[in-house]
A and B are shown apart, each in its own frame.
Chain A
Amino acid sequence: MITPAGYRRTEPGENPRLDWREYESTRKRVPIHAPIRLEHTLSEITGPRTWAVATPADADLTHFNGGEALGERIIVAGRVLDDNGRPLPDTLIEIWQANSAGRYAHEVDTHDAPLDPHYSGVGRVITDAHGAYRFTTIKPGAYPWRNHPNAWRPAHIHFSLFGPAFATRLVTQMYFAGDPLLLLDPIFNSIPDQSARNRLVAAFDLGTTMPGYALGYRFDFVLRGPEGTPAG
Protein backbone atom coordinates (compact mmCIF):
# COMPACT_ATOMS: atom_id res chain seq x y z
CA MET A 1 0.00 0.00 0.00
CA ILE A 2 1.46 3.35 -1.00
CA THR A 3 -0.29 6.52 0.08
CA PRO A 4 0.69 9.32 -2.31
CA ALA A 5 2.07 12.61 -1.01
CA GLY A 6 -0.26 15.07 0.70
CA TYR A 7 -1.28 18.53 -0.38
CA ARG A 8 0.78 21.64 0.28
CA ARG A 9 -0.11 23.56 3.45
CA THR A 10 -1.32 27.13 3.18
CA GLU A 11 0.97 29.87 4.51
CA PRO A 12 0.01 32.08 7.46
CA GLY A 13 -1.79 35.19 6.25
CA GLU A 14 -3.06 33.90 2.93
CA ASN A 15 -6.42 32.81 4.32
CA PRO A 16 -8.73 34.87 6.53
CA ARG A 17 -8.28 34.99 10.27
CA LEU A 18 -11.26 33.01 11.52
CA ASP A 19 -11.49 35.20 14.63
CA TRP A 20 -11.67 38.45 12.65
CA ARG A 21 -13.94 40.34 15.02
CA GLU A 22 -14.74 43.18 12.62
CA TYR A 23 -16.97 40.59 10.97
CA GLU A 24 -19.62 40.39 13.67
CA SER A 25 -20.99 36.95 12.78
CA THR A 26 -17.65 35.33 13.64
CA ARG A 27 -18.01 35.99 17.35
CA LYS A 28 -20.20 33.10 18.44
CA ARG A 29 -19.25 30.76 15.63
CA VAL A 30 -15.48 30.59 15.65
CA PRO A 31 -13.76 27.83 17.63
CA ILE A 32 -11.64 28.85 20.62
CA HIS A 33 -9.32 25.84 20.45
CA ALA A 34 -6.67 25.72 17.75
CA PRO A 35 -7.39 23.04 15.15
CA ILE A 36 -5.38 19.84 15.41
CA ARG A 37 -2.91 19.32 12.62
CA LEU A 38 -3.76 16.36 10.46
CA GLU A 39 -1.17 14.58 8.33
CA HIS A 40 -2.85 13.86 5.04
CA THR A 41 -4.20 10.37 4.55
CA LEU A 42 -6.23 8.79 1.77
CA SER A 43 -9.21 10.61 3.26
CA GLU A 44 -7.76 14.04 2.38
CA ILE A 45 -6.03 13.28 -0.92
CA THR A 46 -9.18 11.77 -2.36
CA GLY A 47 -12.38 13.74 -2.77
CA PRO A 48 -15.68 13.89 -4.54
CA ARG A 49 -15.22 13.91 -8.27
CA THR A 50 -17.49 15.99 -10.41
CA TRP A 51 -20.86 14.42 -9.75
CA ALA A 52 -22.92 17.19 -11.28
CA VAL A 53 -23.57 17.95 -14.89
CA ALA A 54 -23.55 21.47 -16.26
CA THR A 55 -25.27 22.43 -19.48
CA PRO A 56 -24.38 25.54 -21.51
CA ALA A 57 -27.57 27.11 -20.10
CA ASP A 58 -26.16 26.70 -16.58
CA ALA A 59 -23.25 28.95 -17.58
CA ASP A 60 -25.55 31.74 -18.79
CA LEU A 61 -27.26 33.45 -15.87
CA THR A 62 -28.69 36.22 -18.04
CA HIS A 63 -31.67 34.19 -19.24
CA PHE A 64 -34.12 32.83 -16.70
CA ASN A 65 -37.78 32.04 -16.53
CA GLY A 66 -38.43 32.89 -20.16
CA GLY A 67 -36.87 36.33 -20.16
CA GLU A 68 -33.71 38.36 -20.03
CA ALA A 69 -32.22 39.65 -16.77
CA LEU A 70 -31.83 43.38 -16.18
CA GLY A 71 -28.45 44.95 -15.56
CA GLU A 72 -24.99 45.12 -17.01
CA ARG A 73 -24.10 41.85 -18.78
CA ILE A 74 -20.59 40.60 -18.02
CA ILE A 75 -18.48 37.61 -18.90
CA VAL A 76 -16.26 36.05 -16.25
CA ALA A 77 -13.62 33.68 -17.56
CA GLY A 78 -10.37 32.16 -16.41
CA ARG A 79 -8.71 28.94 -15.38
CA VAL A 80 -8.57 26.70 -12.37
CA LEU A 81 -4.99 25.73 -11.56
CA ASP A 82 -3.19 24.09 -8.69
CA ASP A 83 -0.33 25.92 -6.99
CA ASN A 84 2.16 24.03 -9.16
CA GLY A 85 0.59 25.82 -12.12
CA ARG A 86 -1.11 22.70 -13.38
CA PRO A 87 -4.55 23.20 -14.96
CA LEU A 88 -7.39 21.33 -13.26
CA PRO A 89 -9.85 19.93 -15.80
CA ASP A 90 -13.35 18.65 -14.97
CA THR A 91 -13.70 20.76 -11.86
CA LEU A 92 -17.16 21.87 -10.85
CA ILE A 93 -17.61 25.58 -10.14
CA GLU A 94 -20.88 26.58 -8.50
CA ILE A 95 -21.88 30.23 -8.64
CA TRP A 96 -24.32 32.47 -6.76
CA GLN A 97 -24.77 36.21 -6.51
CA ALA A 98 -27.12 39.14 -6.01
CA ASN A 99 -28.90 40.73 -8.97
CA SER A 100 -27.99 44.10 -10.47
CA ALA A 101 -29.96 45.87 -7.73
CA GLY A 102 -28.06 44.09 -4.96
CA ARG A 103 -30.81 41.62 -4.03
CA TYR A 104 -30.55 37.85 -3.75
CA ALA A 105 -33.36 35.61 -4.87
CA HIS A 106 -33.40 34.12 -1.36
CA GLU A 107 -36.04 34.29 1.36
CA VAL A 108 -33.68 35.61 4.05
CA ASP A 109 -32.66 38.60 1.94
CA THR A 110 -34.86 41.47 3.12
CA HIS A 111 -33.00 44.30 1.38
CA ASP A 112 -35.48 46.80 -0.05
CA ALA A 113 -34.35 46.43 -3.65
CA PRO A 114 -36.28 44.82 -6.50
CA LEU A 115 -36.12 41.15 -7.38
CA ASP A 116 -35.72 40.37 -11.05
CA PRO A 117 -38.11 37.62 -12.22
CA HIS A 118 -35.62 36.81 -14.96
CA TYR A 119 -32.59 36.44 -12.75
CA SER A 120 -31.95 33.62 -10.27
CA GLY A 121 -28.30 34.46 -9.64
CA VAL A 122 -27.42 30.75 -9.68
CA GLY A 123 -25.16 28.98 -12.15
CA ARG A 124 -22.57 26.28 -12.59
CA VAL A 125 -19.82 25.43 -14.99
CA ILE A 126 -17.28 22.63 -15.29
CA THR A 127 -13.70 23.37 -16.37
CA ASP A 128 -12.62 22.02 -19.75
CA ALA A 129 -9.57 19.89 -20.56
CA HIS A 130 -7.33 22.97 -20.10
CA GLY A 131 -8.85 23.97 -16.77
CA ALA A 132 -10.69 26.87 -18.42
CA TYR A 133 -14.17 28.09 -17.55
CA ARG A 134 -16.41 30.89 -18.72
CA PHE A 135 -19.85 32.14 -17.79
CA THR A 136 -22.12 35.06 -18.58
CA THR A 137 -23.95 36.92 -15.86
CA ILE A 138 -25.14 40.33 -14.67
CA LYS A 139 -22.79 42.55 -12.70
CA PRO A 140 -24.05 42.24 -9.11
CA GLY A 141 -25.03 45.34 -7.16
CA ALA A 142 -23.64 46.35 -3.78
CA TYR A 143 -26.01 45.90 -0.84
CA PRO A 144 -26.30 47.00 2.78
CA TRP A 145 -25.89 44.55 5.66
CA ARG A 146 -26.19 44.82 9.40
CA ASN A 147 -22.57 44.23 10.39
CA HIS A 148 -21.95 47.81 11.54
CA PRO A 149 -23.59 51.21 10.95
CA ASN A 150 -23.82 52.04 7.25
CA ALA A 151 -22.19 48.75 6.24
CA TRP A 152 -22.27 47.79 2.54
CA ARG A 153 -20.88 44.71 0.87
CA PRO A 154 -18.85 45.44 -2.26
CA ALA A 155 -20.16 43.85 -5.44
CA HIS A 156 -19.15 40.19 -5.39
CA ILE A 157 -19.83 36.76 -6.85
CA HIS A 158 -19.74 33.64 -4.66
CA PHE A 159 -17.94 30.51 -5.87
CA SER A 160 -17.70 26.94 -4.65
CA LEU A 161 -15.01 24.61 -6.07
CA PHE A 162 -13.92 21.08 -5.31
CA GLY A 163 -10.67 20.42 -7.13
CA PRO A 164 -9.21 16.92 -7.07
CA ALA A 165 -9.29 16.19 -3.33
CA PHE A 166 -11.04 16.81 -0.02
CA ALA A 167 -8.00 18.97 0.82
CA THR A 168 -8.58 21.30 -2.14
CA ARG A 169 -12.17 22.29 -1.36
CA LEU A 170 -12.67 26.06 -1.67
CA VAL A 171 -15.56 28.45 -1.13
CA THR A 172 -14.73 32.05 -1.90
CA GLN A 173 -15.90 35.37 -3.33
CA MET A 174 -14.71 37.38 -6.32
CA TYR A 175 -14.68 41.18 -6.28
CA PHE A 176 -14.30 43.87 -8.94
CA ALA A 177 -11.27 46.12 -9.39
CA GLY A 178 -11.76 49.73 -8.34
CA ASP A 179 -14.70 49.13 -6.01
CA PRO A 180 -14.41 51.78 -3.25
CA LEU A 181 -16.25 49.50 -0.81
CA LEU A 182 -13.44 46.94 -0.81
CA LEU A 183 -11.30 48.90 1.64
CA LEU A 184 -14.24 49.08 4.05
CA ASP A 185 -15.34 45.45 3.83
CA PRO A 186 -14.59 43.31 6.91
CA ILE A 187 -14.95 40.08 4.94
CA PHE A 188 -12.42 41.11 2.27
CA ASN A 189 -10.14 42.61 4.93
CA SER A 190 -10.14 39.41 6.99
CA ILE A 191 -7.27 38.16 4.80
CA PRO A 192 -4.09 39.50 6.45
CA ASP A 193 -1.80 39.28 3.44
CA GLN A 194 -2.54 42.08 1.01
CA SER A 195 -1.32 40.28 -2.08
CA ALA A 196 -3.45 37.26 -1.19
CA ARG A 197 -6.44 39.55 -0.66
CA ASN A 198 -5.92 41.15 -4.04
CA ARG A 199 -6.07 37.74 -5.69
CA LEU A 200 -9.83 37.90 -5.08
CA VAL A 201 -10.17 40.97 -7.29
CA ALA A 202 -11.08 40.29 -10.91
CA ALA A 203 -9.40 42.37 -13.59
CA PHE A 204 -11.24 43.92 -16.49
CA ASP A 205 -10.04 42.24 -19.68
CA LEU A 206 -10.65 43.60 -23.14
CA GLY A 207 -9.74 40.23 -24.65
CA THR A 208 -12.60 38.55 -22.76
CA THR A 209 -15.00 41.34 -23.64
CA MET A 210 -17.51 40.42 -26.38
CA PRO A 211 -17.80 43.35 -28.78
CA GLY A 212 -21.23 44.91 -28.71
CA TYR A 213 -22.44 42.49 -26.03
CA ALA A 214 -20.70 42.27 -22.64
CA LEU A 215 -17.60 43.43 -20.75
CA GLY A 216 -15.16 40.70 -19.79
CA TYR A 217 -13.38 39.95 -16.52
CA ARG A 218 -10.53 37.50 -15.92
CA PHE A 219 -10.42 35.49 -12.76
CA ASP A 220 -8.16 32.49 -12.13
CA PHE A 221 -8.59 30.15 -9.19
CA VAL A 222 -5.49 28.56 -7.67
CA LEU A 223 -6.10 25.56 -5.42
CA ARG A 224 -3.59 23.73 -3.24
CA GLY A 225 -1.35 21.38 -5.19
CA PRO A 226 0.32 18.09 -4.28
CA GLU A 227 3.46 18.50 -2.24
CA GLY A 228 6.85 17.66 -3.67
CA THR A 229 5.89 18.43 -7.24
CA PRO A 230 8.12 20.95 -9.01
CA ALA A 231 6.44 24.15 -10.14
CA GLY A 232 5.25 23.98 -13.71
Chain B
Amino acid sequence: MTMSYGRTPSQTIGPFFHRALVRNGGNDLTARGAAGVQIVIEGRVIDGDGLPVADAMVEIWQANAAGRYDHPEDRQDKRLDPNFHGFGRTATDAEGYFRFRTVKPGPVRETGDFTQAPHINVSIFARGLLNRLVTRIYFPDEPLNATDPVLSAVPGPRRPTLIARRVGEELANRFSFDVILQGGAETVFLDL
Protein backbone atom coordinates (compact mmCIF):
# COMPACT_ATOMS: atom_id res chain seq x y z
CA MET B 1 0.00 0.00 0.00
CA THR B 2 1.41 3.35 -0.97
CA MET B 3 1.35 6.19 1.47
CA SER B 4 -0.82 9.06 0.46
CA TYR B 5 -1.23 12.58 1.75
CA GLY B 6 -4.40 13.19 3.72
CA ARG B 7 -7.01 14.63 1.41
CA THR B 8 -8.95 17.77 2.24
CA PRO B 9 -12.57 16.93 3.11
CA SER B 10 -15.57 18.51 1.43
CA GLN B 11 -17.96 20.93 3.14
CA THR B 12 -21.24 22.41 1.98
CA ILE B 13 -21.25 25.33 -0.44
CA GLY B 14 -23.83 27.03 1.83
CA PRO B 15 -26.25 29.72 0.66
CA PHE B 16 -23.82 32.63 0.11
CA PHE B 17 -21.74 31.57 -2.92
CA HIS B 18 -23.36 33.56 -5.71
CA ARG B 19 -21.14 36.62 -5.88
CA ALA B 20 -17.99 34.56 -5.78
CA LEU B 21 -18.94 31.80 -8.18
CA VAL B 22 -21.81 32.69 -10.49
CA ARG B 23 -21.40 35.10 -13.34
CA ASN B 24 -23.73 36.22 -16.09
CA GLY B 25 -23.22 34.13 -19.18
CA GLY B 26 -21.70 31.21 -17.30
CA ASN B 27 -24.55 29.04 -18.57
CA ASP B 28 -23.95 29.78 -22.27
CA LEU B 29 -21.19 27.54 -23.62
CA THR B 30 -21.84 28.66 -27.20
CA ALA B 31 -21.11 32.37 -26.78
CA ARG B 32 -17.88 32.12 -28.78
CA GLY B 33 -19.49 30.34 -31.69
CA ALA B 34 -18.92 26.67 -30.91
CA ALA B 35 -19.23 24.14 -33.72
CA GLY B 36 -22.08 21.64 -33.65
CA VAL B 37 -25.77 21.45 -32.96
CA GLN B 38 -26.86 24.05 -30.43
CA ILE B 39 -29.08 22.73 -27.70
CA VAL B 40 -30.82 24.13 -24.63
CA ILE B 41 -31.09 22.05 -21.47
CA GLU B 42 -33.34 23.29 -18.72
CA GLY B 43 -34.63 21.74 -15.58
CA ARG B 44 -35.32 22.12 -11.92
CA VAL B 45 -33.61 20.99 -8.77
CA ILE B 46 -36.32 19.52 -6.50
CA ASP B 47 -36.10 18.39 -2.87
CA GLY B 48 -37.67 15.45 -1.04
CA ASP B 49 -40.91 17.36 -0.48
CA GLY B 50 -41.19 18.17 -4.18
CA LEU B 51 -40.25 21.78 -3.50
CA PRO B 52 -37.82 23.77 -5.67
CA VAL B 53 -34.25 24.18 -4.45
CA ALA B 54 -33.66 27.88 -5.00
CA ASP B 55 -30.06 28.02 -3.79
CA ALA B 56 -28.28 25.27 -5.73
CA MET B 57 -25.33 25.64 -8.09
CA VAL B 58 -25.20 23.40 -11.14
CA GLU B 59 -22.00 22.82 -13.12
CA ILE B 60 -21.59 20.92 -16.37
CA TRP B 61 -18.53 19.46 -18.09
CA GLN B 62 -18.75 17.92 -21.52
CA ALA B 63 -16.98 16.90 -24.70
CA ASN B 64 -17.32 19.00 -27.85
CA ALA B 65 -19.51 18.14 -30.81
CA ALA B 66 -16.87 15.70 -32.08
CA GLY B 67 -16.74 13.92 -28.71
CA ARG B 68 -13.42 15.30 -27.52
CA TYR B 69 -12.71 16.93 -24.16
CA ASP B 70 -10.63 20.09 -24.09
CA HIS B 71 -8.03 18.55 -21.80
CA PRO B 72 -4.53 17.08 -22.29
CA GLU B 73 -5.56 13.63 -21.00
CA ASP B 74 -7.98 13.24 -23.92
CA ARG B 75 -5.79 11.83 -26.70
CA GLN B 76 -8.55 10.73 -29.05
CA ASP B 77 -7.79 11.43 -32.66
CA LYS B 78 -10.54 14.05 -32.98
CA ARG B 79 -10.44 17.74 -33.49
CA LEU B 80 -10.53 20.28 -30.68
CA ASP B 81 -12.83 23.25 -31.10
CA PRO B 82 -11.00 26.47 -30.19
CA ASN B 83 -14.39 28.05 -29.48
CA PHE B 84 -15.65 25.42 -27.09
CA HIS B 85 -14.20 24.57 -23.69
CA GLY B 86 -16.96 22.43 -22.26
CA PHE B 87 -17.53 23.97 -18.84
CA GLY B 88 -20.65 25.76 -17.64
CA ARG B 89 -21.93 26.94 -14.29
CA THR B 90 -25.16 28.50 -13.12
CA ALA B 91 -27.32 28.94 -10.03
CA THR B 92 -30.94 27.85 -9.71
CA ASP B 93 -33.53 30.63 -9.61
CA ALA B 94 -36.32 31.19 -7.08
CA GLU B 95 -38.35 28.35 -8.65
CA GLY B 96 -35.40 25.98 -8.73
CA TYR B 97 -34.82 26.31 -12.48
CA PHE B 98 -31.47 26.18 -14.23
CA ARG B 99 -30.72 26.46 -17.94
CA PHE B 100 -27.70 25.86 -20.18
CA ARG B 101 -27.15 26.66 -23.83
CA THR B 102 -24.48 24.38 -25.25
CA VAL B 103 -23.76 22.05 -28.15
CA LYS B 104 -24.69 18.42 -28.23
CA PRO B 105 -21.60 16.42 -27.24
CA GLY B 106 -20.34 13.62 -29.49
CA PRO B 107 -19.68 10.05 -28.31
CA VAL B 108 -16.41 9.49 -26.43
CA ARG B 109 -14.28 6.46 -27.27
CA GLU B 110 -12.46 4.70 -24.44
CA THR B 111 -9.88 1.96 -23.97
CA GLY B 112 -10.91 -1.48 -25.15
CA ASP B 113 -12.92 0.05 -27.94
CA PHE B 114 -15.99 0.79 -25.93
CA THR B 115 -17.78 4.03 -26.60
CA GLN B 116 -19.66 6.26 -24.22
CA ALA B 117 -22.95 7.58 -25.49
CA PRO B 118 -23.19 11.38 -25.76
CA HIS B 119 -23.57 12.76 -22.27
CA ILE B 120 -22.96 15.78 -20.06
CA ASN B 121 -21.34 15.43 -16.63
CA VAL B 122 -23.15 17.33 -13.89
CA SER B 123 -22.21 18.47 -10.36
CA ILE B 124 -24.84 19.79 -7.97
CA PHE B 125 -23.89 21.87 -4.94
CA ALA B 126 -26.31 23.30 -2.37
CA ARG B 127 -26.89 24.23 1.21
CA GLY B 128 -27.66 20.92 2.92
CA LEU B 129 -25.33 18.98 0.62
CA LEU B 130 -22.10 18.34 2.50
CA ASN B 131 -20.50 17.09 -0.70
CA ARG B 132 -21.44 17.64 -4.32
CA LEU B 133 -23.78 15.23 -6.06
CA VAL B 134 -22.69 13.95 -9.46
CA THR B 135 -24.95 12.76 -12.23
CA ARG B 136 -25.02 12.62 -16.03
CA ILE B 137 -27.39 13.89 -18.66
CA TYR B 138 -27.91 11.48 -21.58
CA PHE B 139 -30.05 12.09 -24.65
CA PRO B 140 -33.17 10.30 -25.87
CA ASP B 141 -33.15 8.21 -29.06
CA GLU B 142 -29.42 7.53 -28.95
CA PRO B 143 -28.54 4.03 -30.16
CA LEU B 144 -25.31 4.15 -28.11
CA ASN B 145 -27.31 4.43 -24.89
CA ALA B 146 -27.97 0.70 -25.12
CA THR B 147 -24.27 -0.13 -24.68
CA ASP B 148 -23.12 2.81 -22.58
CA PRO B 149 -21.16 1.44 -19.59
CA VAL B 150 -22.56 3.89 -17.06
CA LEU B 151 -26.19 3.57 -18.12
CA SER B 152 -25.75 -0.19 -18.13
CA ALA B 153 -24.62 -0.11 -14.48
CA VAL B 154 -27.89 1.56 -13.45
CA PRO B 155 -30.88 -0.67 -12.66
CA GLY B 156 -33.37 -0.48 -15.55
CA PRO B 157 -36.24 1.21 -13.69
CA ARG B 158 -34.01 4.10 -12.57
CA ARG B 159 -32.22 4.59 -15.90
CA PRO B 160 -34.77 7.08 -17.28
CA THR B 161 -33.76 9.59 -14.56
CA LEU B 162 -30.49 10.05 -16.48
CA ILE B 163 -32.07 10.69 -19.87
CA ALA B 164 -33.18 14.19 -20.80
CA ARG B 165 -36.65 14.59 -22.29
CA ARG B 166 -37.13 16.37 -25.57
CA VAL B 167 -39.28 19.49 -25.30
CA GLY B 168 -41.23 20.57 -28.37
CA GLU B 169 -40.37 19.49 -31.90
CA GLU B 170 -37.16 17.75 -32.85
CA LEU B 171 -35.60 20.74 -34.62
CA ALA B 172 -36.00 22.94 -31.57
CA ASN B 173 -33.25 20.97 -29.81
CA ARG B 174 -34.61 21.75 -26.38
CA PHE B 175 -34.29 19.25 -23.58
CA SER B 176 -35.56 19.06 -20.05
CA PHE B 177 -33.67 17.41 -17.19
CA ASP B 178 -34.85 17.64 -13.60
CA VAL B 179 -32.61 16.79 -10.68
CA ILE B 180 -34.69 15.18 -7.95
CA LEU B 181 -32.55 15.07 -4.85
CA GLN B 182 -34.63 12.70 -2.76
CA GLY B 183 -37.65 10.40 -2.94
CA GLY B 184 -39.27 7.79 -5.15
CA ALA B 185 -38.35 9.48 -8.41
CA GLU B 186 -34.88 10.35 -7.14
CA THR B 187 -32.25 11.02 -9.81
CA VAL B 188 -29.46 8.47 -10.03
CA PHE B 189 -26.27 9.90 -8.55
CA LEU B 190 -22.82 8.53 -9.23
CA ASP B 191 -19.99 7.68 -6.86
CA LEU B 192 -16.73 8.87 -8.33
Are A43 and B121 interface neighbours, CB within 8 A? yes
Main secondary structure of the interface of B (DSSP, over half): loop
Decide yes or no whether A167 CB sits under 8 A from chain B. yes
Chain A residues, CB < 8 A from B28: none
| Contact residues, A158-208 vs B (CB, 8 A) | 158, 160, 165-167, 169-173, 187-188, 190-191, 195-197, 199-200
CB of B189 within 8 A of CB of A171, answer no
Which residues of the other chain, A, contact B85 by a CB distance below 8 angstroms? Answer: 48-49, 51
**Chain A 1-39 interface mask (CB, 8 Å, partner B; 1/0):** 111100110100011111010010111111111111111
B18 on interface, CB distance cutoff 8 Å: yes
Cα distance A14–B130 in the bound complex, in angstroms: 12
Is there a chain A Cβ closer than 8 Å to B20's Cβ? yes
Give Cα A18 to B189, complex, Å.
13
Set of chain B residues within 8 Å of A4, measured between Cβ atoms: 73
Determine the chain A residues whose CB is within 8 A of the CB of B87 once the complex forms.
48, 51
Is there an interface contact between A18 and B130, defined as CB atoms closer than 8 Å? yes
* B20 close to A1 (CB less than 8 A): no
Given known A-B contacts A104-B16, A120-B19, A16 and B10 have beta carbons under 8 A apart: yes
Q: Quick check: B8 and A160 within 8 Å, CB to CB? A: no
Q: Please tell me if A135 contacts chain B, counting CB pairs below 8 Å.
A: no
Residues of B within 8 A of A18 (CB): 129-131
Rounded to whole Å, the gap between the CB of B53 and the closest CB of chain A is 7
> Which of A69-77, A81-89, A126-134 interfaces with chain B?
A81-89
Given contacts A3-B110, A29-B182, A108-B16, contact A190 B121 (CB under 8 A): no
How many residues in A have their beta carbons less than 8 Å from beta carbons of B? 86
- Is A1 within 8 A of B110, CB to CB? yes
Let me know if B9 and A169 touch, CB within 8 A.
no
B127 at interface, CB cutoff 8 A: yes
* List of A residues within 8 angstroms of B149 by Cβ: 39, 41
The residues in B between 49 and 97 inclusive whose CB is less than 8 angstroms from any CB of A are: 49, 51, 53, 55, 59, 61, 63, 69-71, 73-76, 85-87
B132 on the interface (CB 8 Å rule)?
Answer: yes
Pick the residue among A10, A40, A124, A171 that contacts B11 (CB under 8 A).
Answer: A171
Interface string of B1-13 (1 = CB under 8 A from A): 0111111111111
- A 82-125 to B, binary, CB cutoff 8 A, 1 in contact else 0: 11110000000011101000001110110000000000111110
A36 CB contact (under 8 Å) in B5, B76, B113, B153: B153
B residues neighboring A (CB under 8 Å): 2-21, 47-49, 51, 53, 55, 59, 61, 63, 69-71, 73-76, 85-87, 108-111, 113, 116, 119, 121, 123, 125-134, 136, 149-150, 153-154, 158, 181-183, 186-192
Chain A: residues with CB nearer than 8 A to chain B?
Answer: 1-4, 7-8, 10, 14-18, 20, 23, 25-49, 51, 81-85, 94-96, 98, 104-106, 108-109, 120-124, 158, 160, 165-167, 169-173, 187-188, 190-191, 195-197, 199-200, 220-225, 230-231
22 A-B interface contacts by CB (under 8 A): A2-B111, A25-B128, A26-B128, A26-B130, A28-B181, A30-B128, A32-B182, A33-B189, A37-B191, A38-B190, A42-B110, A43-B108, A48-B85, A49-B70, A51-B87, A122-B19, A169-B59, A170-B10, A199-B8, A221-B8, A222-B7, A230-B2
